[in-house]
Amino acid sequence: MALDISTPNLAPAAAESSKLKKHFGRFDILFFLICTIVGVDTIASVAASGGEAFTWMVVLAVVFFVPQALLFAELGSTFPQEGGPYIWTRMAFGHLAGAINNFLYWVTNPVWLGGTLASAAAYALQVFFHAGKDWPTVMIGGYAFPWAFYVITIPFIWVAVLAAVLSFRVGKWITTVGAFARFLLLGVFVVTVIVYGVEHGVHGLGAGSFTPSYAGFVALVGVLLFNYVGFELPNSAGEEMTNAKRDVPFAILRSAAFSFVLYAVPILGILLVIPVDKVTNLGGFVDAIQTTFSVFGGASGTVGAAAAVLFVACVLTSGVTWIMGSDRSLAVSGYDGAAPRFFGVIDAKLGTPVRVNIFSGIVSTVVLVLATTITEGNAYKFFGAVLGVTISTTLISYLLIFPSLWKLRRSHPDVERPFRMPWMRGLTVVLMLLLAFTVVQLMAPGAFYDWFGADFRPDGWKASEAGLYLLTELVPVVAFIVIGVIFWALGTKTRRENRALAQELDDAAAGVGVAASAEPGGPTPA
């Protein structure tokens, strides 16, 4: 019988996977997922579209959020190997597709950490600890160097990296704290909105504002789908789970319900408190906190500062969870032959991919500095451009992850499936069509309708800059694909080592079978 080499358990992989430790239980996965999916940095980006944002959020929860939760409940419980999304794609479509897709999947996270998450944290601290004033700068050769901004954002990045470096036995508690920070922040915000509404009245939204429109869908679909992905991330640590077959479906289905509520309620709160034309992508949620917390009177400054700290904890742990998961996938691809072997190393003491973690921190820091410089410190322009690249690159990676379930049902029909996705073919087609449409809109906002029109143009960008925006979205994605191909080429030696050992084990197994058949009482040769 031929040896199954569909899992990364040969040659270099055997040495690395043996360092992994099982610390990931049922409720750890649940809280990890809540921390992964509920990103407070994008809540305002949804609310900025007004009442119909809530309508489209509900619609996409039905046609996208729930179906992909079901899809990953099957994949995650059926194929619980370390490196989850990379392994599924590689098993379904080969090492080259796995290498390209996995680089796209990984690179979005250091870009996101050094871009939108760091700037969102800095904005919250600016509002509540610096009276909303611009951060001080120093002139260097005619350039206003934002040293205070960097003093906040660069340590923010490296604290996240350090959290990812820690043993999962410790690191999982950081993500659990992040989940409870969300419960506390969003819970207090909702209660405060109610009190504010009673005392001051609310902005109010007429029933007509919730009517969905095509233009609203085009403007919203990217950020809504981005908010709704992430169910696969815990499976990047699949071999560190205590019982993936039992726990993955449990955690995914429950986290889906929690996450929807944690998004829907504060978005509705923002819409009730702040006029839509005052909501910005970068600071809408923080501004809503500042407005509603005025109900605390003289204590509003102290309470607001506490809320700012909670907000920073939420955005920080969003970055931590995604770095933890995606870095593991890149490390697995390194020892499986789809990335440089250098990255495919698990630290023996910590059980974490320290080399990839450090690499993520370096990339995040470079992104932060480059994007800040290119946008000349325009926070809104910076936020919109980086968020667009992050969302488009992330969603492109799912164009191969989603159909891997369909392919693996055909190629591995005999593998036990603790959970099966209902209506798999039809729902997968719907997911793919939504993804494809969304990627086009992210690259060219308003395509097929009003390309780069005012209703779709990101904050800080002018109508005359449509070509520049397209380049900022397209060039990075093309570059990431090229790097993925290079990573695949650099993994050639590792793939050969894996195949060679697989052949040796195959030959050894065949020899044992022949010897056994020759013994008295042994099996009769065919």
Residue among 321, 78, 364, 49 nearest 212 (CA): 49
The per-residue pLDDT for 412 is 94
> Of the ranges 58-72, 146-160, 300-314, which one carries the lowest mean pLDDT score?
300-314
Paired with 91 in beta bridges are none
> At a CB cut-off of 8 Å and minimum separation 6, what does 149 contact?
122, 135, 372, 377
In a domain, 179, yes or no: yes
CATH of the domain at 361: 1.20.1740.10
**What is the tens place of the pLDDT at every residue in 225-253?**
988 999 999 999 989 999 989 999 999 99
The per-residue pLDDT for 194 is 84
Tell me how crowded residue 159 is: count the other CB atoms within 10 A of its CB.
Answer: 15
> At a CB cut-off of 8 Å and minimum separation 6, what does 83 contact?
8, 236, 238, 328, 329, 331, 332, 333, 336
In a domain, 12, yes or no: no
Measured CA to CA, the distance from residue 88 to residue 342 in angstroms comes to 22
The per-residue pLDDT for 516 is 47
| pLDDT over threshold 80, residue 143 | no
Sign of the Cα pseudo-torsion (195, 196, 200, 205, in order): negative
The per-residue pLDDT for 404 is 96
In a domain, 385, yes or no: yes
Q: Can you tell me the mean pLDDT for 265-288?
A: 72
The per-residue pLDDT for 248 is 94
Q: Mean pLDDT score of the chain, rounded to an integer?
A: 84
Which ranges of 274-353 would DSSP assign to H, the alpha helix? 284-292, 300-336
| pLDDT over threshold 70, residue 330 | yes
One-letter amino acid of 193: V
If you write DSSP's letter for every residue of 176-218 in order, what string do you get?
Answer: HHHHHHHHHHHHHHHHHHHHHHHHH------GGGG---HHHHH
Which range marks the domain in which residue 259 is found? 26-494
Here the tokens at position 367 are 């992104």
**What is the tens place of the pLDDT at every residue in 475-521?**
888 999 999 999 999 999 998 887 877 777 767 766 655 554 444 44
Q: Is 338 helix (H, G, I), strand (E, B) or coil?
A: coil
In a domain, 4, yes or no: no
Here the tokens at position 253 are 């289905």
CB 425 within 8 A of CB 71: no
What's the burial of 253, exposed, middle or buried (CB within 10 Å: 0-12/13-18/19+)?
A: middle
Tell me how crowded residue 403 is: count the other CB atoms within 10 A of its CB.
Answer: 19
In a domain, 11, yes or no: no
Q: Is 5 helix (H, G, I), strand (E, B) or coil?
A: coil
Q: Is the pTM of this model over 0.85?
A: yes
CB 120 within 8 A of CB 41: yes
How many distinct structural domains can be found in the chain? 1
pLDDT band (50, 70, 90) for residue 8 = very low
> At a CB cut-off of 8 Å and minimum separation 6, what does 130 contact?
none
In a domain, 523, yes or no: no
**What is the tens place of the pLDDT at every residue in 393-416?**
889 999 999 999 999 999 999 999
C-alpha distances (whole Å) from 515 to each of 380, 504, 505 are 72, 16, 15
First and final CA of the chain: distance in angstroms? 13
Measured CA to CA, the distance from residue 247 to residue 461 in angstroms comes to 45
Polymer length in residues for the chain: 526
Q: Is 24 helix (H, G, I), strand (E, B) or coil?
A: strand
Radius of gyration of the chain (CA): 24
> At a CB cut-off of 8 Å and minimum separation 6, what does 507 contact?
none
Measured CA to CA, the distance from residue 240 to residue 80 in angstroms comes to 9
In a domain, 20, yes or no: no
| pLDDT over threshold 50, residue 427 | yes
Measured CA to CA, the distance from residue 253 to residue 69 in angstroms comes to 7
| pLDDT over threshold 60, residue 473 | yes
In a domain, 70, yes or no: yes
